[in-house]
Amino acid sequence: MVIPAYNEAEALPAFHIKLYDVLKNTNLTFEIIYCDDGSVDDTPKIIKSLQKDYSNINYVRLSRNFGKEAALTAGIAEAKGDAIITMDADSQHPVDLIPEFIAKWQSGAQVVIGIRVNPSGKGLLKNSGPKIFNKLFKAITGQAVNIGSSDFRLIDRSVQSAFLELPENNRVTRSLIDWLGFDREYIEFNANDRDGGSPSYTRNMLFKLATDSFISSSPRPLYMFGWVGIFITSCSLLLGLAVIIEQLIMNDPLSWKFTGNAMLGILIVFLVGIVLLSLGLLSLYVSHIHTLSKRRPLYVIDRSKSIHSGKN
Ligand code: UDP
Ligand code: MG
């Protein structure tokens, strides 16, 4: 189990008891890794006291608050199990579903994704934010996202090693795991209310998460300028040509009576179009650099399923 925790002193003890119960009943060997993301409340104390009362608890402390994505990655890197389940420390992800995750994994799934079906809370941003984000995301990047897709996930050991080989810095754990592929299954769940404490994601952090997802997923937003440029340039070019032919060459048989100012306007719009076009061209190059800079592998081999036969 990998559980990122940032200032979760209020919610953690109750969560731990529920979690431990469920894990014990699975009759599997387990470890719980609490990844303390630089908490400034009593979280470290609580985890350490839990360590005295329970076996199999590991405490990983980040040197400061790096954010949930970093904490998750740190925890996944430390985990030694054949399968790893990540979930929140605030009891919003129901522990009762853990046996279902494990069952799906035992019957062959390498990634099991929790899909949240109830709306994610009060307030305009939290309520319609995800819906708007998913729509925009699909429209702009062309990649469908699973609405409600959450960090309540199980990944197999083979997915863990592939995940840890991804070197990029602006990580969004969910989308990286989605990018990796592997055999996946889904489990729908209703998120509970938070068990004490308060959510630590601020509006700014959510915004950063959203932009990170966009930017690391697709260079398409960059190309938009190019398309606008093509549109503006071709419209103003046609209009300009029509004016030149009709008014300057043929002496205005249709009496359009374009003034000098209007012609100047068309010229300026044409030039703006050219500038946008060059931006679009530039973005093609930038997108190549962008792809390179993520240094994602060209492919991921699923070693658990690949078979080499014969001698080498
Ligand atoms: N979390 C973290 N670092 C942070 C913010 C949050 O490790 O900087 C953890 C937090 O302790 C919880 C999980 O990430 O276990 C989800 O956070 P939260 O409940 O604040 O977000 P939400 O439920 O709104 O997704
Ligand atoms: Mg929460």
Task: Output the pLDDT for position 126.
Answer: 63
> Which of helix, strand or coil describes residue 312?
coil
Q: Look up the pTM and report it.
A: 0.77
pLDDT of 121 reads 59
Cβ(6) – ligand 1 distance below 6 Å: yes
Residue nearest to atom 23 of ligand 1 (CA): 199
Ligand nearest to C-alpha 10 = 1
Q: So what's the pLDDT on residue 63?
A: 94
Minimum CA distance residue for ligand 1 atom 19: 199
Asked whether 201 lines ligand 1 (CB < 6 A), one says yes
Hey, what are 278's tokens?
A: 């060059």
Distance, CA of 91 to CA of 16 (rounded, Å): 9
pLDDT of residue 298: 85
Our CA dihedral for 180, 186, 88, 157, rounded to 10 degrees, sits at: -40
CA 9 to ligand 2 centroid distance, Å: 13
- Of the candidates 148, 141, 146, 152, the one whose C-alpha atom is nearest the C-alpha of residue 127 is 148
Q: Residue 311: what pLDDT? A: 59
CA 252 – CA 234 distance, rounded (Å): 22
Cβ atoms within 10 Å of 60's Cβ, excluding its own:
18
Tell whether ligand 1 has an atom less than 6 A from the beta carbon of residue 174: no
Residue 303 carries which DSSP code? T
First to last CA, the chain: 39
State the DSSP H helix or E strand holding residue 150, giving kind and residue range, or none if neither.
strand 149-156
Does 2-217 carry CATH code 3.90.550.10? Answer: yes
Tens of each residue's pLDDT in the chain, 312 residues: 999 999 999 899 999 999 999 999 998 999 999 999 999 999 999 999 999 988 899 999 999 999 899 999 999 999 999 999 999 998 889 999 999 999 999 999 999 999 888 766 556 666 677 777 777 777 777 766 667 788 999 999 999 999 998 888 878 888 888 888 899 999 998 888 877 777 777 778 778 877 877 777 777 777 888 999 999 999 999 999 999 999 889 988 888 888 889 889 999 999 999 999 999 999 889 888 888 888 888 888 888 888 888 755
Q: Do the Cβ atoms of 180 and 300 come closer than 8 Å?
A: yes
Check residue 123 and give its pLDDT: 61
CB of 88 closer than 6 angstroms to any ligand 1 atom: yes
Q: How many whole angstroms from 161 Cα to the centroid of ligand 2?
A: 27
CA of 53 to the centre of ligand 2 (A): 26
**Cβ neighbourhood burial of 220 (10 Å; 0-12, 13-18, 19+):** middle
